[in-house]
A and B are shown apart, each in its own frame.
Chain A
Amino acid sequence: MTAASIRVTDLRKTYQVPEREGGLRAAAGSIFRRSTKSVPAVAGITFDVSPGEIVGFLGPNGAGKTTTLKMLSGLLYPTSGEATALGHVPWRRETDFLRRMTLIMGQRNQLAWDIPVIDSFELNRAIYGVSRAEYNVRLDELVELLDVGDLVRKPVRNLSLGERMKCEIAGSLLHRPEMLFLDEPTIGLDVTMQRRIRSFIAEYNARTGATTLLTSHYMGDVEALCRRVIVIHHGSLLYDGDLTGLVERFAPRKTISIDLEPDQPALEPGVLAGLAGGPDAVVQHGAERVTLRVPRSETAAVTTRLLGRVAVRDLVVEEPPIDEVIDLVFAAGPSDAAERAETAAAQPVA
């Protein structure tokens, strides 16, 4: 077991945000007396990340994901708490640390707007002190992996959003960082481009063993890339563990969908409820299709009972879609999330 790549202990960041009532009078008053209020963006989180891990940060807007990422990449000084990344305290911004990591933000670009991409790369080459020979090898590799061969000679303003993002990523990896902070790298991209970028990130991780922290609103990104997820809500850590565990904890029920053989006597509602373990478990009851939502532990028993009692043409047992699980998690605060998730999952969704 090697030492953790990232170690975060009780990290906090509180912003002072100006605050005033709406209206002209309040606006005029605030010129002289600005009242501020403290907004805890990150309210004490603790976690470790092992070398080579890809960890997904999940949380609704304003949960504190980006703030955490920015503290870990050295952009922000925390209000309190400790963190090390690659053995450095990030916000000291020591050259050795900055040289070994990169930050990619889907919503911002760093390439110069009016000139070919390759000229911006050249500046990055100098900043990171990459030798010409190494630069050429890495550039070729990235160009091939990201399929940006023709693009790098075009001015940035002539690129589509997806093309630009690919070039941004290539430019951010020329120094072969060991640590990647990706803040919504696929935002606004079409599905094909999202998939492309995902597979690239996975490939980069496999080739270089770079530790990767990723935030995204697209569950597809997280499902494809992250075995481990950290869920933040209102600045606090809500869950830290593998993705399947998240589903088990916050969505304790599975969905059983059954297509019935048409030539058989109709199922009485009471009978079906009995088979499913209670009327609450029945989500949908049609002549040819029945949907049940049952506790995880009873799935096998219910399935067996059903198969013994009715003629089934097809039967599918499913986890709820991960998006739905996340909704359930965020619908509640840290303390009662699990409880609320339980209740919500039990509600029939017609």
Chain B
Amino acid sequence: MRSLGLVWLSLRLGVLNALQYRVDFFIQLFQSVIGLGTALAAIAVVFSQTDELGGWTRDELVALVGVFFLVGGLVNVVIRPSMERLMEGVRLGTLDFTLTKPADAQILVSTRQVDVWRLVDVVLGSVVIVIAITRLGERVGVEHATAFGLVLIAGMAIIYSFLLVLATLAFWLVRLENILVIFATMYEAGRWPVGLYPPWLRLALTVVVPVAFAITVPVETLVGRLEPATLVTTVVLAVVFLVGSRWFWKFGLRHYTGASA
């Protein structure tokens, strides 16, 4: 309970900080609309030639784009900026203050920075998902929607844990900003179902950078194509990732030396 209160207050602070820069909203809106338009246009082009792409229909792919924006938005609102801030904190030594606080340092660093205007992506993604669901019609039942929600949360947990592990590496390798850029690049590949890619890339997107679990799997759940086994695997994997990343984070903390004054 106390942790939740802390998350809320920390996020609130981040939002207040970000609200100082209103112009960013319009820039973000512009950027997001262009991005979404391009993604939908690509789907339109593909489906002007064919009715199906690797077993996926047009509406299913629209749903995928929606999830891509939703998850990407959620990652970019809090997780990515907070992880960047964490790595900067390790390099500059500003993490010192966080570590002297009688609160869970992982919670504090994970909610440190809020890029509030990225919520535009979350909103646009949600709208696209709703539109896709409407068009898919009766194929999406209540149980599918519930499972979708569950898998989405699990997928977010996996991505969060993955980014936390990457950021924790900063305790050993001090200059490491680029590692998050690599993640962003790999994330772009999630625009399309991972099944469309050659086996090696599919494997990479599932195991190395777990984008598949955050985007493809939730959409498969939504359209009712997911095997129950995969659902269970995803949830179990999320728990394993959360526990593992927390252990790694604590291990990394022992190696924190701070920047000397």
Asked whether B100 lies within 8 Å of A123 as measured between CB atoms, the reply is no
A70 at the interface (CB under 8 A from B): yes
* Neighbouring A residues of B17 by C-beta, 8 Å: 112-115
Nearest-neighbor residue (CB-CB) of A95 within chain B = B102
* Neighbouring A residues of B22 by C-beta, 8 Å: none
Asked whether A120 lies within 8 Å of B97 as measured between CB atoms, the reply is no
* Neighbouring A residues of B20 by C-beta, 8 Å: 114-115, 155
Asked whether A102 lies within 8 Å of B100 as measured between CB atoms, the reply is yes
Nearest-neighbor residue (CB-CB) of B102 within chain A = A98
- The size bracket of the interface on B is 20 to 34
* Neighbouring A residues of B96 by C-beta, 8 Å: 70, 75, 103, 105, 108
* Minimum C-beta distance from A178 to chain B (A): 13
B93 at the interface (CB under 8 A from A): yes
Asked whether B102 lies within 8 Å of A128 as measured between CB atoms, the reply is yes
Asked whether A75 lies within 8 Å of B6 as measured between CB atoms, the reply is no
* Minimum C-beta distance from B251 to chain A (A): 12
Asked whether B103 lies within 8 Å of A127 as measured between CB atoms, the reply is yes
A221 at the interface (CB under 8 A from B): no
B261 at the interface (CB under 8 A from A): yes
Q: Which of B2, B93, B101, B256 contacts A98 (CB 8 A)?
A: B101
Task: Please tell me which stretch of B8-16, B55-63, B198-206 contacts chain A, meaning at least 4 of its Cβ atoms lie within 8 angstroms of it.
Answer: B8-16
B126 at the interface (CB under 8 A from A): no
Q: How many residues of A contact B (CB 8 A)?
A: 38
- What is the bound-complex CA distance between A190 and B159, given in angstroms? 48
Q: Which of A67, A108, A127 contacts B94 (CB 8 A)?
A: A108
Q: Which of A77, A108, A113, A155 contacts B93 (CB 8 A)?
A: A108
Q: Which of A15, A66, A115, A127 contacts B101 (CB 8 A)?
A: A127
Asked whether B102 lies within 8 Å of A75 as measured between CB atoms, the reply is no
Given A119-B13, A120-B13, A123-B9, CB of A76 within 8 Å of CB of B257: yes
Question: Which of B94, B96, B102, B258 is the most central at the interface, judged by chain A CB atoms within 10 Å of its CB?
Answer: B102
* Neighbouring A residues of B97 by C-beta, 8 Å: 103, 105, 108, 110
Asked whether A77 lies within 8 Å of B254 as measured between CB atoms, the reply is yes
Asked whether B102 lies within 8 Å of A70 as measured between CB atoms, the reply is no
Q: Per-residue CB proximity of A264-296 to B under 8 Å, as 1/0?
A: 000000000000000000000000000000000
* Neighbouring A residues of B6 by C-beta, 8 Å: 126-127
Nearest-neighbor residue (CB-CB) of A124 within chain B = B101
* Neighbouring B residues of A183 by C-beta, 8 Å: 261
* Neighbouring A residues of B54 by C-beta, 8 Å: none
Asked whether B99 lies within 8 Å of A93 as measured between CB atoms, the reply is yes
A99 at the interface (CB under 8 A from B): yes
Asked whether A70 lies within 8 Å of B101 as measured between CB atoms, the reply is no
- What is the bound-complex CA distance between A62 and B260, given in angstroms? 9
Q: Which of A66, A75, A107 contacts B100 (CB 8 A)?
A: A75
The number of A-B residue pairs with CB atoms under 8 Å apart is 77
- What is the bound-complex CA distance between A67 and B96, given in angstroms? 12
* Neighbouring B residues of A108 by C-beta, 8 Å: 92-94, 96-97
A73 at the interface (CB under 8 A from B): yes
* Neighbouring B residues of A102 by C-beta, 8 Å: 100
Which residues 123-148 of B have a CB within 8 angstroms of A?
A: none
B5 at the interface (CB under 8 A from A): yes
* Neighbouring B residues of A105 by C-beta, 8 Å: 96-97, 261
Which residues 79-132 of B have a CB within 8 angstroms of A?
A: 92-94, 96-97, 99-103, 108
* Minimum C-beta distance from A34 to chain B (A): 11
A162 at the interface (CB under 8 A from B): no
* Minimum C-beta distance from B192 to chain A (A): 35
* Neighbouring B residues of A67 by C-beta, 8 Å: 260
* Neighbouring B residues of A77 by C-beta, 8 Å: 254
- What is the bound-complex CA distance between A204 and B10, given in angstroms? 28
A122 at the interface (CB under 8 A from B): yes
Given A112-B13, A115-B13, CB of A73 within 8 Å of CB of B261: no
A101 at the interface (CB under 8 A from B): yes
- What is the bound-complex CA distance between A270 and B92, given in angstroms? 61
Asked whether A99 lies within 8 Å of B102 as measured between CB atoms, the reply is yes
Given A75-B256, A112-B17, CB of A107 within 8 Å of CB of B99: no
* Neighbouring B residues of A128 by C-beta, 8 Å: 101-102
Q: Which of A66, A103, A115 contacts B16 (CB 8 A)?
A: A115
Q: Which of A66, A74, A113, A155 contacts B99 (CB 8 A)?
A: A74
Nearest-neighbor residue (CB-CB) of A157 within chain B = B20
* Minimum C-beta distance from A221 to chain B (A): 15
Question: Which of A75, A110, A183, A184 is the most central at the interface, judged by chain B CB atoms within 10 Å of its CB?
Answer: A75
Asked whether A184 lies within 8 Å of B258 as measured between CB atoms, the reply is no
- What is the bound-complex CA distance between A70 and B100, given in angstroms? 10
Q: Per-residue CB proximity of B32-62 to A under 8 Å, as 1/0?
A: 0000000000000000000000000000000
Q: Which of A74, A76, A107, A114 contacts B261 (CB 8 A)?
A: A107
Nearest-neighbor residue (CB-CB) of B9 within chain A = A126
User: A-B pairs with the 3 shortest C-beta distances?
Assistant: A98-B102, A110-B97, A99-B102
Q: A103-B97, A183-B261 are in contact. List 9 more A-B contacts (CB 8 A).
A: A15-B257, A75-B99, A75-B100, A75-B256, A76-B256, A114-B20, A126-B9, A128-B102, A184-B261
**13 residue pairs from A and B, CB less than 8 Å apart:** A74-B99, A75-B99, A75-B100, A75-B256, A77-B254, A105-B96, A108-B94, A114-B17, A114-B20, A114-B21, A119-B13, A123-B9, A127-B103
A interface list, Cβ under 8 A from B: 15, 62, 66-67, 70, 73-77, 93, 95-99, 101-103, 105, 107-108, 110, 112-115, 119-120, 122-123, 126-129, 155, 183-184
B interface list, Cβ under 8 A from A: 2, 5-6, 9-10, 13, 16-17, 20-21, 92-94, 96-97, 99-103, 108, 254, 256-258, 260-261
